[in-house]
A and B are shown apart, each in its own frame.
Chain A
């Protein structure tokens, strides 16, 4: 059961800026097993974003090993990386990145458009199922500007789920949301994790880290902490115990 989804060994990533070489990652190693809920934390400049890009197969390491679901990234071409992203990764972004003036259903269908094996009929039924899973079955025809921030992020999560990826990769996915909505979204992530989805959540908010099962903290391109949280708190609990909104009083 506990198979490694991600295997990272001595990962390095250098950038050349002018004549200087910036070493964003200086040899990072860790494994992520199936069913984990991992948060990657770090201040800006810690290498967090570079880590996210490599995890998301948008960027390739300068040196070191990265196996995603037993596939080595280093040797893949651009097109093969695109295919891998399409099949194995579900992205959730801070700013949702939904197509404007396009219905929620069409937005969710989008990743499947790049998979020629899926018929239009299957595409639609899978998109509907994904929207139902995030609790938006009644909003399929709505365009992003008719949806609240929280609902938009749910559509984005449905889009990430629709191709049944091995890992959900979230980049500050609650960064644009108020705290109540953030907890709602995190509750959704926890629920998905309980159903077996592997989640990697990149954030700088310690609150969120406390809801995950494991936290890796980066600083200056190194892992400085790797903590397993045995009994993560429930986002639902937070929701129920939120201070009363004083605007309404």
Chain B
């Protein structure tokens, strides 16, 4: 009743809560959104993927860069294939960077020598043409599959690259297929700036090496990646003839690890944003308390009257408490609406990924209710403790 009688004041009081709730909702939406988008992108690389790379060993105290380590070989790959029941697929990876040339155009990119399983492990697929075969791997055939970025930079629009021959470090490669577009990953890397070719071709014709740089594997499913990790570690330790006292000279990483690392970062971001937004909610709550005090003082005679005609302490207290809670809940409803609107506006204008969870909405309402009760309590109590005789004569 009294709220409707003082519309302007009620709206201004609510504004504190509205802004507080709206910012909490928007901040959580942004935080959760970025978390989910990172998770999605990591998952799109294959959640059951495992990456094996040599560890920086320190022979003679000098730590060498991991990529110059030469202790992973095709034998290790075979060992994993044979000894790890939870590993579904394995593929080696050797890569080199250099200039790619077609006709009058050239483009610096990385050429990656992989096994035929690589596409499946990385959740990639062929758009046009075909993937190279085991036969091509066995013969170190000079064939390749191109990513979209490479095609755009080497070929004129509408010109099909299939069947053409490109040159990488003066070695001709025949294009036999193109890759479906993957876009940028979380880290801003262009996943389409890629040339795939049999790893044997890179080993023999480009880099002239016998070792492999990385091994990509996939667990039979997402849940098995931890077991697969243990199996791979055991297989490689055996294959490398490491004693129990020796550290691994390789490292195995799962996508799950990567996800949890990034989740914890974005989680922290979300908490930070929510904490900042909560401060405005707190300020809004103090606003409610302030206005309730004014209201109690202003309505002292009304309180006296209500007591005289039979209002008990608890009735008076509830009247003011309900008023405070109503203000904060009403502010909460408007705040949630505003928060959702703001989130979608940010998403459409700035292109930020947002996720609005029902949890954040429920949480906001709960916080509003608690804010109302918490900050309404003291003024309401003050009102209920008034002496009706004095309150009735209050000027």
Contact = CB atoms under 8 A, between A and B. Distances in A.
A56 B313 contact: no
Interface of B: 1, 5, 301-302, 304-315, 388-389, 392
Contact of A82 (B302, B304, B311): B311
Nearest to B395: A95
B313 A114 contact: no
B301 A86 contact: no
A114 B310 contact: yes
A225 interface: no
B312 A78 contact: yes
Contacts of B305: 91, 93, 97, 99
A83 B307 CA distance: 10
A110 B309 CA distance: 8
Interface of A: 53, 56, 58-59, 78-79, 82-83, 85-87, 91, 93, 97, 99-102, 106, 110-111, 114-115, 159, 163
Contacts of B312: 78-79, 82-83, 114
Contacts of A100: 5
Given A53-B389, A58-B388, A101-B5, A110 B306 contact: yes
A86 B388 CA distance: 14
A85 B5 contact: no
5 contacts: A56-B308, A58-B308, A82-B312, A102-B1, A106-B1
A99 B311 CA distance: 14
A86 B310 contact: yes
A99 B309 contact: no
A58 B5 CA distance: 29
Contacts of A86: 309-310
A102 B313 CA distance: 22
Most chain B CB atoms below 10 A, which of A83, A97, A115: A97
Given A56-B308, A85-B308, A100-B5, A79 B392 contact: no
A102 B3 CA distance: 12
B309 A58 contact: no
A85 B310 contact: yes
B301 A82 contact: no
B310 A83 contact: yes
Nearest to B301: A97
Nearest to B304: A97
Given A97-B392, A99-B1, A111-B309, 7 more contacts: A58-B392, A86-B310, A93-B392, A114-B310, A114-B315, A115-B310, A159-B309
A97 B391 CA distance: 11
Contacts of B310: 82-83, 85-87, 111, 114-115, 163
Nearest to A99: B302
A11 B255 CA distance: 87
A78 B392 contact: no
A36 B311 CA distance: 27
Given A101-B5, A102-B1, A91 B302 contact: no
Contacts of B392: 58, 93, 97
Nearest to A97: B305
B62 to A, nearest CB: 86
| Nearest 8 Cβ contacts at the A-B interface | A86-B310, A114-B310, A111-B309, A82-B312, A101-B5, A97-B305, A79-B312, A85-B310
B308 A91 contact: yes
A114 B309 contact: yes
A95 to B, nearest CB: 8
Nearest to B308: A91
| Residue with the greatest number of chain B CB neighbours at <10 A, chosen from A82, A86, A93 | A82
A101 B6 CA distance: 10
A56 B389 CA distance: 10
B28 to A, nearest CB: 39
A83 B312 CA distance: 8
A159 B311 CA distance: 14
A102 B1 CA distance: 8
A101 B302 CA distance: 12
Contacts of A59: 389
B313 to A, nearest CB: 6
A115 B312 CA distance: 11
Nearest to A171: B392
Contacts of B304: 97
B1 A85 contact: no
A115 B309 CA distance: 10
A83 to B, nearest CB: 7
B4 to A, nearest CB: 8
Contacts of A58: 307-308, 388-389, 392
A240 to B, nearest CB: 34
Contacts of A163: 309-310
Given A58-B308, A85-B308, A100-B5, A79 B302 contact: no
Residue among A78, A91, A99, A102 with the most chain B CB within 10 A? A99
Nearest to A156: B305
